[in-house]
Structure 1
Amino acid sequence: MTKGRATVLIEPNRLETWQVPVADPQPGGVLVQIVLGGVCGSDAHIASGGVGRMPFPIILGHEGIGRIEKLGAGVTTDYASVPVKVGDLISWSPIALCHRCYSCTVLDETPCENSQFFEHADRPNWASYSDFATLPPGMAFYRLPSHANPEAVAALGCALPTVLRGFDQCGPVGRGDTVVIQGAGPVGLAATVVAAISGAHEIIVIDRVQRRLDAARSLGATATISMTGTTSEDRVAQVWDRVGPQGPSVVVEAAGALPAFPEGVNLTGHHGRYIVLGLWGEIGTQPISPRDLTIKNMQIAGATFPKPKHYYGAVHLATRLQDRYPLAQLITHRFSVEDAPKALQALGSDTVIKAVIDPTL
């Protein structure tokens, strides 16, 4: 039986490269050869144990672009009714939904009561830190348009679906909005480009790394603020001085750091919205003044776990924007499957914008 490499998390902070069997797909499933596996900040939280115990051992990686190797019986199209064949590039929604619970059939929400995020490393697996992935029946996947640059699609990984989910859940950015984005990692950069194409009047991005702030400028930010040498009070004052006495109409938390939350509340303007997207992996609390919410008449909302339609939307949006914005150039680092631990360590580096696992290395 054919075998392929996979990065397996045995326990917190213990990663190994395994040779795992490559199984034929079930009826309704798909076998793909991984082309690019995105390295996400949440992978680092999972690997460190910071978000709780996982069903070890698991293969890491929930962002993937793969080339179809085999189609399971009955599979002739993707989940948008687009015909597919061996050799096509696809991307998939990495949450295995049950399609027969209240969340799935009544609320149309993800995740569902029976969602499966990981499969045991010994079993056919849809994770992307690997040579091959086997998508089970019912896992939505979408063919990349023939002219799509897979690097442009991979550059914003799950960040772009997350942002689309966030604006869908918490209200969109409209023409004339003033937007502040806390953090210029992939989620913040995705929020930047979506705000730009939505017609936002101002897009102000805050980060501590100049390279990321430069990337935000290339994606449509109208101003940037460095955290280096500024206090939270300084940043709030700079933002309000720029946008005027009403303050920002939309603030997006994409920093993934707990102190960003109270700062975001202070940044948000009168009648504004604070959308929390990046704090999935940070467990803890931060103090805020509830009175500020009422005085400003502001809303706070959060979102995570994009729906399949958001992955579909991200594939086509990235393809449409790939020549207008330097999306592919956001990929700054590539690692082999064996070097996945180095990829996770690199996420903390000031030089990384987006890292990927490239099985050809």
Structure 2
Amino acid sequence: MDLPSATRAAVLTAHGAPLELTDLPLPAKPEPGAALVRILCTTLCGTDIEIWSGKMTFPGMLPMVLGHEMVGEIVAVGEDTRDALGRALGPGDRIGWSESTCGACHGCTVLREPVACSARGYGFLQRSDAWPHATAGLCEYAYVVPGAAKLLLPAETPDTWAAMAGCAAKTVLRAFSRVGGVRPGSRVVVQGSGALGLFATAVARISGAGSVVTVGAPASRLALAREFGADETVDIAGGSAAVVDRVRELTGGHGADLVLDFAGAPSVGREAVEMAAQRGRVVVVGSTGPGSEALALGTVMGKELTVVGSLNGDIADYHEAIGFFTSFRDRMPWDRLFGTPVGLSQASARIEAMSRHEEIKAVVDPRLP
């Protein structure tokens, strides 16, 4: 079959501006280990919104194609293209993929941590005006480079779930793993009521937490948090001091045994330390912004807290996220996280809606008009 030589894409050319629909060139033939896919579904992430708004930026990043949670159907593959488990891939296979890594740097070879790769290729590190142009989700077709870890997806996993597993879900599961998991019967506080916070609320509940408190806003999301397993919710509208006081009240004055930051607001780290119990654990995941309030290191020392950072996830976390959805597909109303699918022409409107907290995870299907 003749391969497409170009793809329609929604390109971000300026922060805060509408995406521009344009055509981007595609490679004439996939390299060994690479794949050309037709995008079936892209779910937008909070990082996409931060990049669009300019909250997350760096020199030279624009123009670019947003979207790093996606699922595609293979159109063509290069020689010996396999997934992370060694399974041969070919046209018609449905895959997801993780960031590309070099396999040769200190992070890859000594630390054996793909997220520490010094040449890690993420969707938002690829300019759309430079080869290979189209590697992200807001395209009709995307080029999955040889170094990207690919995963053949089970047929029973819906496109939206599989796409979300590519960032949001794998990020949450890695955070729980990095901090040592949930101790049965423990008190857990989740900071943030976006997609990551809601998913983390569900993970804490399924993992055997004794009580789960979700902190965030607006009220509609806090109501949804209860559907995902929260025993109590705390609205941030009352201010930082009131949030900490309420959490301590809900935990019998002891504080939380485990606090997970999926919010990233400047005050979140300080609040996490204050609301943590003696010898509690705190994991920092959502702090992607440029600034934050100072932590009370004396409190960290006095409470003997364990503070852990967790950055995104790799193909192992992605595989675990797909398995999680498979194992617990009926435990939570997962589809409540996703909006109504739209085409590329409406992607800008859905991004703006997410920025106003009107939608949790926008869904873009480039096959739609």
The normalised TM-score by structure 1 is 0.92
**Separation of aligned partners in 1, 2:235 and 2:309:** 25
Q: In structure 2, do the counterparts of structure 1 residues 285 and 351 end up closer, same or farther at CA, with 3 Å as the change threshold? A: closer
For 1:294, give the aligned amino acid.
M
State how 1:330-345 maps to structure 2 within 5 Å: 330-345=337-352
Aligned match of 1:236: 244
Aligned match of 1:302: 309
Aligned match of 1:348: 355
2:42 aligned with 1:37: yes
2:161 aligned with 1:152: yes
Aligned match of 2:170: 161
Aligned match of 1:88: 93
**Separation of aligned partners in 2, 1:337 and 1:213:** 30
1:347 CA drift (Å): 1.4
Contact 2:97–2:166 at 8 Å: present in 1 too?
no
Contact 1:68–1:86 at 8 Å: present in 2 too?
yes
1:127 CA drift (Å): 0.6
Contact 1:155–1:330 at 8 Å: present in 2 too?
no
1:136 CA drift (Å): 0.8
**CA offsets 1:239-277 (integer angstroms, 9 cap, x no match):** 222222432100111112112222222111110011111
1:86 CA drift (Å): 2.2
Which of residues 13, 18, 30 in structure 1 aligns to 2:16?
13
Contact 1:35–1:65 at 8 Å: present in 2 too?
yes
What SS does the aligned partner of 2:223 have? helix
Q: In structure 2, do the counterparts of structure 1 residues 209 and 263 end up closer, same or farther at CA, with 3 Å as the change threshold? A: same
The normalised TM-score by structure 2 is 0.90
2:298 aligned with 1:291: yes
2:256 aligned with 1:253: no
Q: In structure 2, do the counterparts of structure 1 residues 22 and 307 end up closer, same or farther at CA, with 3 Å as the change threshold? A: same
**Separation of aligned partners in 2, 1:87 and 1:321:** 27
Which of residues 128, 145, 153 in structure 2 aligns to 1:136?
145
1:173 CA drift (Å): 1.6
For 2:20, give the aligned amino acid.
E
Contact 1:7–1:129 at 8 Å: present in 2 too?
yes
Percent of pairs identical after alignment? Answer: 33
Contact 2:43–2:69 at 8 Å: present in 1 too?
yes
Q: In structure 2, do the counterparts of structure 1 residues 57 and 88 end up closer, same or farther at CA, with 3 Å as the change threshold? A: same
State how 1:219-230 maps to structure 2 within 5 Å: 219-228=228-237, 230=238
1:85 CA drift (Å): 3.5
**Separation of aligned partners in 1, 2:317 and 2:97:** 11
1:213 CA drift (Å): 1.7
1:334 CA drift (Å): 3.3
Contact 2:167–2:312 at 8 Å: present in 1 too?
no
1:115 CA drift (Å): 1.8
Contact 1:155–1:331 at 8 Å: present in 2 too?
no
Contact 2:49–2:351 at 8 Å: present in 1 too?
yes
**CA offsets 1:119-147 (integer angstroms, 9 cap, x no match):** 33143332111111111112101111121
Which of residues 72, 76, 99 in structure 2 aligns to 1:70?
76
Contact 1:29–1:137 at 8 Å: present in 2 too?
yes
1:157 CA drift (Å): 4.9
What SS does the aligned partner of 2:224 have? helix
Contact 1:97–1:111 at 8 Å: present in 2 too?
no
Contact 2:166–2:318 at 8 Å: present in 1 too?
no
Aligned match of 1:360: 367
Which of residues 94, 98, 101 in structure 1 aligns to 2:102?
98
What SS does the aligned partner of 1:291 have? helix
Contact 1:149–1:319 at 8 Å: present in 2 too?
no
What SS does the aligned partner of 1:140 have? strand
Contact 1:152–1:322 at 8 Å: present in 2 too?
no
**Separation of aligned partners in 2, 1:157 and 1:213:** 24
What SS does the aligned partner of 1:344 have? helix
* Number of matched pairs: 357
Q: In structure 2, do the counterparts of structure 1 residues 215 and 81 end up closer, same or farther at CA, with 3 Å as the change threshold? A: farther
What SS does the aligned partner of 2:110 have? helix
Note the aligned Cα RMSD (angstroms). 1.9
For 2:54, give the aligned amino acid.
G
2:121 aligned with 1:116: yes
**Separation of aligned partners in 2, 1:61 and 1:187:** 16
2:13 aligned with 1:4: no
- Structure 1 runs not aligned, ≥5 long: none
Aligned match of 1:173: 182
Contact 1:248–1:269 at 8 Å: present in 2 too?
yes
Q: In structure 2, do the counterparts of structure 1 residues 54 and 48 end up closer, same or farther at CA, with 3 Å as the change threshold? A: farther
Q: In structure 2, do the counterparts of structure 1 residues 5 and 172 end up closer, same or farther at CA, with 3 Å as the change threshold? A: same
1:286 CA drift (Å): 0.5
**Separation of aligned partners in 1, 2:312 and 2:336:** 26
- Structure 2 runs not aligned, ≥5 long: none
1:333 CA drift (Å): 4.2
**CA offsets 1:69-114 (integer angstroms, 9 cap, x no match):** 1122112x42123454322221110x22111111101101213112
For 1:20, give the aligned amino acid.
L
**Separation of aligned partners in 2, 1:116 and 1:22:** 18
